[in-house]
C-alpha cells in the first residue's frame, strides 16, 4: 500500500546519493547542494492527498528536472544579448570625474559672480535666468521698464562671462 513518503527518512536514505548524482550532472558541488535541497523541499510541499508509489524514483525525477531547468537557465543567460560583455561596450553618457569637477568649479565661479552683482541686478538675473521669467514679467513685478530689465541682465551676463573667462585662463 502506497502512502505519503516520510521526507526526513527519504532525505537520510537518498540525500547524499542525489547530491552526488547532481554534482556529476552539473559539475558544480554548490549548485548540486542547492538543487538537492530544492528536490526535498518540493517533496515536502506535496499535497497530503497525493500518494507516491516509489519515493526514490520521484526524488530522482524531480532532481533531474531541476538540473535540466538549471542548465537551460544557464544557456539563456549565456546567450542573453544584454550580457556583461555587451553592456560594457555601451557608451556611458554620464560625465566622468574630471568633467564633474570642472562643472562644479564653473558653478562655484558663477555663484560668486552672481553674489558680487548689485542687489537689483542680481534680483533681475535670478528672476530671468534662474526662475525663467520673461522680460515683461520681470518689468511688471519690479515696476521697471523692459529696457531696464534688459540692461541689468546684460550687465549680469557680462560680469559672469568675464569671471568665467578669467578663471578659465588660470
pLDDT tens per residue, range 87-144: 566 666 677 888 888 888 888 999 999 999 999 999 999 999 888 999 999 999 999 9
More confident residue, 153 or 167: 153
Residue 26 near residue 35 (C-beta atoms within 8 A):
yes
Does residue 103 belong to any structural domain of this protein? Answer: no
Q: How far apart are CA 21 and CA 29, in angstroms?
A: 10
Number of domains in the chain: 2
Mean pLDDT of 9-37: 92
Kindly give, in sequence order, each residue whose CB lies less than 8 Å from that of residue 5, ignoring residues fewer than 6 positions away. Answer: 43, 52, 55, 58
Does residue 94 belong to any structural domain of this protein? Answer: no
Domain that holds residue 57: 7-88
pLDDT digits (tens, 9 = 90+) for 59-72: 999 999 999 999 99
Does residue 96 belong to any structural domain of this protein? Answer: no
pLDDT at 1: 40
Kindly give, in sequence order, each residue whose CB lies less than 8 Å from that of residue 161, ignoring residues fewer than 6 positions away. Answer: none
Cell representation of residue 130: 534662474
Domain with residue 120: its CATH number is 1.10.10.10
Domain with residue 16: its CATH number is 1.10.1740
Does residue 153 belong to any structural domain of this protein? Answer: yes
Q: How far apart are CA 43 and CA 20, in angstroms?
A: 18
Amino acid at each position: 500500500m502506497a502512502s505519503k513518503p516520510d521526507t526526513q527518512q527519504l532525505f537520510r536514505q537518498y540525500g547524499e546519493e542525489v547530491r552526488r548524482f547532481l554534482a556529476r550532472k552539473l559539475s558544480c558541488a554548490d549548485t548540486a547542494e542547492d538543487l538537492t535541497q530544492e528536490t526535498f523541499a518540493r517533496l515536502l510541499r506535496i499535497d497530503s492527498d497525493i500518494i507516491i508509489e516509489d519515493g526514490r524514483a520521484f526524488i530522482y525525477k524531480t532532481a533531474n528536472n531541476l538540473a535540466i531547468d538549471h542548465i537551460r537557465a544557464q544557456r539563456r543567460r549565456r546567450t542573453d544579448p544584454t550580457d556583461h560583455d555587451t553592456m560594457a561596450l555601451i557608451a556611458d553618457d554620464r560625465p566622468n570625474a574630471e568633467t564633474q569637477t570642472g562643472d562644479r568649479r564653473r558653478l562655484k565661479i558663477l555663484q560668486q559672480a552672481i553674489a558680487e552683482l548689485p542687489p537689483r541686478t542680481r534680483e533681475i538675473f535670478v528672476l530671468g535666468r534662474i526662475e525663467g521669467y520673461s522680460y515683461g514679467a520681470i518689468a511688471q513685478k519690479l515696476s521697471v521698464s523692459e529696457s531696464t530689465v534688459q540692461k541689468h541682465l546684460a550687465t549680469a551676463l557680462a560680469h559672469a562671462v568675464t569671471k568665467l573667462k578669467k578663471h578659465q585662463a588660470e
